[in-house]
A and B are shown apart, each in its own frame.
Chain A
Amino acid sequence: MIEGILIGLETAFSIKNLMMVMIGCFAGTIIGMLPGLGPMTAIALMIPITYGFEPSTGLILMAGVYYGAVFGGSTSSILINAPGIPGTVATSFDGYPMAQQGKAGKALAVAAYSSFAGGTIAAIFLLIAAPSLSKVSLAFRSPDYFGLMILGLTAVSAFSAKGHFLKAMMMVVLGLMLASVGQDTLSDIPRFTFQNMNLSDGISFVLVVMATFAMSEALTIIFKANDPTRVAKQISLSQLGSIKLDKEETKKMVATIPRSSVLGFIIGVLPGAGSTIASFLAYGMERNFVNDEEKQKFGKGSVNGLAAPETANNAACSGSFVPLLTLGIPGSGTTAVMLGALLGFGIQPGPRLYQTNPEIFWSVIMSMYIGMVILLILNLPLIPYIARVLATPRTFLIPLILFFSVTGIYLMSFNNFDIYMMIGIAVIATILRLYDFPMPPLILAFVLGGLMEENLRRSLLISDGSWSFLWDRPLTLIIMATIVLIVSWQIYKSFIKKNS
């Protein structure tokens, strides 16, 4: 492990990679700060640029963007009560009241220190957990992988769209259907290409991500006639107050951070749960831990109430890398985008990544520490200036997002057909979003589609066409039982509980 850490440090500390972490954190902060645009959009916009890079450099850049976007999301939550991402909704419960009391600088400092601490502590957990889990996951076979993928998709559907489980499952199927377009990987037989040469290689992952996130988010803002920057124009973004914390506030944070980090990391590792659930659970847990006097302050500007979700959502980000790096199965939409990018680099994450590409495995983990430090020292003093991004008029913002999206796909294919298909998918995604059909399950399914078919193929061929592989091995049986449990719980919650 020490050798791996040294390899990781060497790669992560190269001038080029340090630059990439800085650029990633900075760009992620700015994009994540803009309400409506989250880490998935931020990473999606970066993918075309990273294709010329080495895989480790590309992944380091995207990890920086991820952390930066989460941090940026909390800034807009605190300053204008408009969370950039769902994971920072809980941040606004106490962050925004603090800002209204003239303590915006303090609230941003609490968020920055908590994010730093949560991310760093969770990165240590990742350092310990990932190699161990990699070794364990070598025992996984095709039926287990197939089961894990269904578990991931079911869990994401259950958690990402509260009360819309069936809609999420339809999006899963649609994602898998889109992934099935093109030549079959084993037999090279064309499927759903309708004799169109442009479809024979399948639909590009970047195209689907850009269309369903960057482009459709931009179109949704216009379609719903939202102006997310309107509130920002009404407040002073340059006079945010002191960022210094007193002894009492520091003491409160010190108590909150360790427990929220542990909770955030564990939730992050679980498929589908992610930073949103982690931050809400941490907020609820913290409320139970504090004394009655502090409890009264929750929702009115409590330091504990702000530190807990901020710590947990960053810890969950680190935790979400565990299934991606060790099993090759992303547990969230954002890590699904990262998996797609890795596959684009020709790298298959999974238990063997630890052995075959140690520089990627370790440099990503090491770059997380560097990213955290950069976020703290770069963003905190610069926040009053960066916050002005919030006031960027949508009249400029939206065309620029559309331009980056079209450029991204144009650079990859130099093909009109792909641009038209991207516009078509974006329009459909905009309508689907309007009626609460969630997009993260679609992306996760699209990324996992090929792997899922491959593992199902192997499992069915080994078991001679029998579906008994789903319960033959205890591990597969446990996974399948968990899936049944999640689906039953969703049915109970949606229909039976409501009717009773």
Chain B
Amino acid sequence: MKISPSKIISLLFFIFSGFYLYTAHQIQVFTFDENAAFNAKTFPIYLGYAGLIFSALYVLLPETRPSNVDLTVLDYKKTIMLVILMILYGLTILRVGYFLSTSIFLVLSYIVLGERKWVWIFILSFPFVAIFMYLLHGLLNIYLRDPFLQYIGIMG
């Protein structure tokens, strides 16, 4: 028997709802609140049951409009590379600073997606980020943390 991906997702949601419901029951409420008509765990418990019901219905009932996705045409490589780049961006943004990490993230993303117009790659990374930072930090007074620019004395 072949099970559709939508049903697998619903099954995972069913398991997630079960875990959510279990965790909802574990919420520690004040002693005087335990038998109250409503306390901190009432709403989550209802949500847990709702999640179980809807996902179970989807798994058990026949699919009226199955989603047809051709898995062979999906671009896994570029998507995974972009996600990895974003994780690295998140990792470096606080340590290296906004300017350098953002510019490098943009350059690498353009390259990963197949762009080879080097002039545009440069314009839409370092100078673009510098102008964007000036707009945010210089004009709109929005604080941007950048240890690198602070170290070399460009940012106060």
Contact = CB atoms under 8 A, between A and B. Distances in A.
Interface of A: 49, 52, 162-164, 166-167, 169-170, 173-174, 176-177, 180, 184, 186-187, 189, 191-192, 219, 222-225, 393-396, 398-400, 402-403, 406-407, 410-411, 414, 416, 419-420, 423, 427, 430-432, 434-437, 452-453, 456-457, 460-461, 463-465, 494-495, 498
Nearest to A432: B9
Interface string B1-39: 000011001100100010010011001111001001111
A461 B42 CA distance: 12
A448 to B, nearest CB: 12
A174 B37 contact: no
B6 A436 contact: yes
10 contacts: A166-B54, A174-B51, A187-B40, A191-B41, A222-B82, A395-B113, A395-B115, A416-B90, A436-B67, A465-B38
Interface of B: 5-6, 9-10, 13, 17, 20, 23-24, 27-30, 33, 36-44, 47, 50-51, 54-55, 57-58, 61-62, 64-65, 67, 69, 73-76, 78-79, 82-83, 86-87, 89-91, 93-94, 98, 102, 105-106, 109-110, 113-115, 120, 124, 136, 140-142, 144-145
A470 to B, nearest CB: 13
5 cross-chain pairs, A with B, having the tightest CB-CB distances, nearest first = A465-B37, A399-B109, A419-B90, A163-B65, A395-B115
B47 A176 contact: yes
A461 B37 contact: yes
B38 to A, nearest CB: 5
A400 B54 contact: no
Contacts of A423: 83, 86-87, 90
B79 A222 contact: yes
Contacts of A187: 29-30, 33, 39-40
Contacts of B40: 184, 186-187, 189, 191
Q: Counting chain A CB atoms within 10 Å of each CB, which of B64, B65, B86, B124 scores highest? A: B86
Contacts of B98: 410
Contacts of B29: 187, 189
A136 B87 CA distance: 50
Given A180-B47, A396-B124, A460 B38 contact: yes
Contacts of A394: 113
A224 B74 contact: yes
A336 B71 CA distance: 33
A180 B47 CA distance: 9
Contacts of A416: 90-91, 93-94
The binding surface of chain A is classed by DSSP as helix
A465 to B, nearest CB: 3
A437 B145 CA distance: 37
Contacts of A495: 61-62, 64
Contacts of B74: 223-225
Contacts of B109: 398-399, 402-403
A180 B42 CA distance: 11
Contacts, number: 172
Given A166-B57, A187-B33, A406-B86, 11 more contacts: A52-B142, A162-B65, A164-B65, A169-B54, A170-B58, A174-B13, A176-B47, A180-B47, A223-B75, A396-B120, A423-B87
Contacts of B120: 396
Contacts of B110: 395-396, 399
B30 A464 contact: no
Contacts of A431: 9
A402 B86 contact: yes
Given A49-B140, A416-B93, A461 B9 contact: no
B150 to A, nearest CB: 14
A180 B46 CA distance: 12
Nearest to B128: A400
Contacts of A186: 40
Contacts of A463: 37
B37 to A, nearest CB: 3
Contacts of A162: 65
A435 B54 contact: no
Contacts of B27: 189, 191
A292 to B, nearest CB: 35
Contacts of A223: 74-76, 79
A420 B75 contact: no
A241 to B, nearest CB: 30
A58 B41 CA distance: 35
Contacts of A452: 43
Nearest to A186: B40
A222 B87 CA distance: 17
Contacts of A430: 79
Given A191-B44, A399-B113, A436-B67, A170 B54 contact: yes
Contact of A414 (B28, B83, B94, B136): B94
A411 B137 CA distance: 11
Contacts of A406: 86, 89-90, 93, 105
A176 B43 CA distance: 10
A399 B85 CA distance: 10
Nearest to A189: B40
A343 B113 CA distance: 37
Q: Counting chain A CB atoms within 10 Å of each CB, which of B47, B82, B87, B94 scores highest? A: B47
Nearest to B20: A177
B105 A403 contact: yes
Contacts of A174: 13, 51
B81 to A, nearest CB: 9
A184 B33 CA distance: 13
B118 to A, nearest CB: 13
Nearest to A51: B142
Contacts of B13: 170, 174
A393 B6 CA distance: 32
